[in-house]
Chains A and B, each alone.
Chain A
Amino acid sequence: MNVTEFRTDLRRWLDANDLSPGPDDSLDAQVTQLARVRRALYEAGWMRYGWPAEVRGLGGPPVLRAVLGEEVATRGLAEPGIYSMVEVLAPTVISYAPAELAAEMVPLLLGGREQWCQGFSEPGSGSDLASLGTRAVPRRGDWVVTGQKVWTSLAQYSARCVLLTRTAPGHAGITAFFVDMDTPGITVRPLRTMHGVDEFAEVFFDDVVVPGERMLGRPGDGWQLAMDLLPHERSTCFWHRIAHLYTRLDHLLHQMPASDSGRDDDALGAAYLALHTVRCRSHTTQRRLAEGEHLGPETSVDKVLLATAEQELFDTVRDLLPGTLELTETPWRSEYLYSRAATIYGGTAEIQRNIIARRLLNLGKE
């Protein structure tokens, strides 16, 4: 199915099948809504396009997933951050899990029957992922995992975790597992964030036994697995997020008093230009991915553009709706506060600039 046909048919279907969320915007409600949206889209087939037949997908180019995510974000059907998690989790399991395991598990995620989480960051290794310390030790064909993860989105709702552990020193000593979250020894403690949502959690692993066949790839493949995530995170997920930010800008334009003529056009124009710029850049990245190109450090440019655009947009919202997010109960408040994290998660803005300096500008070592 080609993109235009897919988009037209999808829009027609979404017009006829209202999946809009209810008024409750608590995290519990958002996660329930996400499952409902995924399930409906999966059963109608939309959520299966762009995924391979081996995991019960309907095939077609992966860009169809970006089109679907854009429609979901534009219509506000699901919170785009948690919606986009399929884009990194499913491809990782498809690439690294044994084929039967992927065939069994991926449809559960795509079909909204399960949430999964991604256990990467640790208290001692955020941006410095290579320094992670959660240990996995072999024991009679199983592995025993001990350690702590943090910033694990949706851990408290998750049935499975794609987990990075240390099995030997250095980059080559990182090993990934696909862990059932109900295994004894796992404790999840949700973390309250400044925007009032327990989206993240700390996850503690206390002698957790993981069967050997749940290893993703081979011992030492974990670093490569983490790097292989980037094309998905920096292309399809970004496209979804950019679509979401456009809808927020539209929302601001509707909410601004109509009499506000001209005075704020500099700020509005700058926010729009920043969004347009990252959309154009992301479009180029999507096309390169579709042509089978390998995505590498140049996606750090996309990341910096997106984080900058996101914060510029919400700064503009605060400036142009004076007092609103401070003095009224409004979704803008939590969105503004969450936008402060855009230069932190997924590799800080400083780390991105270091990558650009070393690998794109060849400035040598610091």
Chain B
Amino acid sequence: MDAAERDLLSSTLHKAMTTATGPALDASLAGLGWADLLTEVPEAAVPLVFRLLGETGAHAPLLNDVILHAAGRPLGGTPPLPYAGGSWVVWERGGRGAPGVCLDGELPLRVGPAGEPIPLGAGRRALGWWLVGTGRAMLALARSHVLDRTQFGRPLASFQAVRHRLAETLVALDGAEATLVAADDDLGALLAKAAAGRSALTAARHCQQVLGGIGFTAEHDLHRHVRRALVLDGLLGSARELTREAGTLVREGRSAPRLVQL
């Protein structure tokens, strides 16, 4: 896929995700050739699609397909997915969020019994891109707020304390994105998911703080991204769990693997 094709695909996907979400988006992406993209050019399609889910705030049960494809099974099913703390969830297709169960009421996740072990690397990469996209959506909301909102006679964006929080957010997101670009094995995917989860939580904390009271209300969009980040972070292992797992690995191996080489 060359740059022009990718731009075209990106704008098509963006349009789809800003006009539909959930089952409707699932159907619309199926029509746009999601299954072919996933099976033929996953290295280009997965970052693009999942990052855009984050940036637009839309959702679709595509993680199931990523897992099924990695497992060599037919697309379209709903394999049980491990969640933080030893829970398991199913990401319903065509279902609707059950209010009061999942923190992100828009996501149709259902807690269920433990399933079979699944290949985790591809799913963690996809979720990582989603989390970074969500973080960038929060950063964009915070950025436009601090430029618009005036206090003490000047824009919030002119206060160094505010600027440094947003700078830290960008550092975390850009760092996480670099780990995703380099994630071409299971350990790389584990670390990338941890970095991405942490960057989205960093974005949530700093962006909510600079948005002040408005970022705490349901009238502003931020809360949707905050809830989304919290839920996605726990899927296939939270940043905290994965970081600990990486620590165990280097301690037992007595060496810190250098995953990227010049």
A36 at interface (Cβ–Cβ under 8 A)? Answer: no
B85 CB → nearest A CB, Å: 15
Given known contacts A260-B251, A272-B250, A301-B171, A364 and B191 CB-to-CB distance under 8 angstroms: no
B231 at interface (Cβ–Cβ under 8 A)? Answer: no
Please list the 4 inter-chain residue pairs (A to B) with the smallest Cβ-Cβ separation, ordered nearest first. A269-B247, A265-B247, A357-B163, A268-B247
A20 at interface (Cβ–Cβ under 8 A)? Answer: no
B166 CB → nearest A CB, Å: 6
The bracket for how many chain A residues form the interface is 35 or more
Residues in B whose Cβ lies below 8 Å from that of A305: 171, 175
Stretch of B2-10, B51-59, B177-185 lying at the A interface: B177-185
Nearest to A349 among chain B residues (CB) is B164
Give Cα distance in the complex from A304 to B191, angstroms. Answer: 19
Q: Quick one: CB contact mask for B18-48 with A, threshold 8 Å, 1 for yes?
A: 0000000000000000000000000000000
B106 at interface (Cβ–Cβ under 8 A)? Answer: no
B186 CB → nearest A CB, Å: 14
Residues B259 and A262 in contact, CB atoms below 8 Å apart:
no
Nearest to B243 among chain A residues (CB) is A269
Stretch of B68-76, B91-99, B153-161, B220-228 lying at the A interface: B153-161
A128 CB → nearest B CB, Å: 15
Residues A363 and B146 in contact, CB atoms below 8 Å apart:
yes
Question: Which residues B116-172 have CB closer than 8 A to chain A?
Answer: 139, 143, 146-147, 155, 157-160, 163-164, 166-168, 170-171
- Among B139, B171, B181, the most chain A Cβ lie within 10 Å of the Cβ of B171
Residues in A whose Cβ lies below 8 Å from that of B247: 264-270, 272
B128 CB → nearest A CB, Å: 12
A205 at interface (Cβ–Cβ under 8 A)? Answer: no
Instruction: Out of B158, B182, B240, B253, name the residue touching A280 (CB < 8 Å).
Output: B182
Give Cα distance in the complex from A363 to B139, angstroms. Answer: 12
Interface residues of B (CB under 8 A from A): 139, 143, 146-147, 155, 157-160, 163-164, 166-168, 170-171, 174-176, 178-179, 181-182, 191, 194-195, 198, 240, 242-248, 250-251, 253-256, 258-260, 262
A3 at interface (Cβ–Cβ under 8 A)? Answer: yes
Query: Could you pull out 19 A-B pairs where Cβ atoms are within 8 angstroms?
Result: A67-B262, A70-B262, A253-B256, A268-B246, A269-B242, A269-B246, A277-B176, A277-B178, A277-B195, A279-B260, A280-B179, A280-B182, A283-B262, A301-B171, A305-B175, A354-B164, A360-B170, A361-B166, A365-B158
Residues in B whose Cβ lies below 8 Å from that of A254: 254
Residues in B whose Cβ lies below 8 Å from that of A266: 240, 243-244, 247
Residues in A whose Cβ lies below 8 Å from that of B246: 268-269, 272-273
A19 at interface (Cβ–Cβ under 8 A)? Answer: no
Instruction: Out of A269, A304, A350, A357, name the residue touching B250 (CB < 8 Å).
Output: A269
Given known contacts A283-B262, A360-B170, A361-B170, A275 and B256 CB-to-CB distance under 8 angstroms: yes
Please report whether the interface of chain A is mostly helix, strand, loop or mixed according to DSSP: helix
Interface residues of A (CB under 8 A from B): 3, 63, 66-67, 70, 239, 243, 246, 249-250, 253-254, 256, 260-262, 264-270, 272-273, 275-281, 283-284, 286, 298, 301, 304-305, 350, 352-354, 356-358, 360-361, 363-366
Give Cα distance in the complex from A165 to B181, angstroms. Answer: 42
Given known contacts A280-B178, A283-B178, A353-B168, A239 and B262 CB-to-CB distance under 8 angstroms: yes
Given known contacts A350-B164, A361-B170, A283 and B244 CB-to-CB distance under 8 angstroms: no
Give Cα distance in the complex from A278 to B159, angstroms. Answer: 28
Instruction: Out of A253, A267, A281, A364, name the residue touching B254 (CB < 8 Å).
Output: A253
Given known contacts A270-B247, A273-B191, A366-B158, A361 and B262 CB-to-CB distance under 8 angstroms: no
Give Cα distance in the complex from A278 to B181, angstroms. Answer: 13
Give Cα distance in the complex from A366 to B167, angstroms. Answer: 13
Nearest to B245 among chain A residues (CB) is A269
Give Cα distance in the complex from A264 to B253, angstroms. Answer: 14
A253 CB → nearest B CB, Å: 5
